Structure 1
Amino acid sequence: MFWSLLKHRVPSLAVALMLCAGCGDSLRTSVGGRITRADGSPLIGATVTVRSDATGKWARGVTDADGAFQLGGATADEGIEPGEYYVTITEERGDMGQLPATIPARYAKRTASGIALTVAAGESQELILQLDPT
């Protein structure tokens, strides 16, 4: 009898799950931007990470040849949830860090970067940064 009842309930459950499949993503906001060094040259191949102290949620993007990036979590360009975030920026410096740094190390530290981001629901944002040389 259990299997008979379950057989009739499964289609309803499947429809309910399909309807809610995208429910959690409706608040995600598109956030992108561009990062340049103090001299105006684009920061290429750098990782931009935003993280929320309140929720622990994070998103990441990598700058392209123009210094442009889009934030996402598991999938690039998926956006982020509304909230307050701190921003860190790290450069790709080779496997052993053998390439010289072109931006100050403070941008890689949460407490020292000095960059914050507030994201509101449904509001696309563009973060334009020109990094300080010191």
Structure 2
Amino acid sequence: MASKLSELQSAAAQASKYVAKNGPSYYKQLMEKNKRYIKNPPTIESCQLLAKQLFYTRLASIPSRYDAFWKELNSMKQVWNKRKEFKNEDYRIAALFGVGWVVECYAWFFLGEVVGRGFTFTGYYV
């Protein structure tokens, strides 16, 4: 256990040295590359103004998102009403998407469990 701790400490020291050496140049490069997104002067007031603009912009987008939701729901109702005209291929495609969705949900659950345990594989998954 002590050897792993010393290895971890040396790795952390190397990472710290790397960040100390390359961090400022990376920061300058990043800021130069994205300077069109920077609000000058960078004051608390300008940050508060941007936060308010973001909030009210998102608030203003609710009606269009509401309309898009009802449009999507109506298209799903039309598909449901035409279900008697479906062929076997249509059912197969729907089943394929359904199975894919279930597999994706399980994969996210599994990944969350692994991350929650500190990236260790134990228990039922072995």
Fold match by TM threshold 0.5: no
Q: TM-score, normalised by structure 1?
A: 0.22
Give the structure with higher Rg (CA).
2
TM-score, normalised relative to structure 2: 0.24
Higher strand share: 1
Greater helix share, 1 or 2?
2
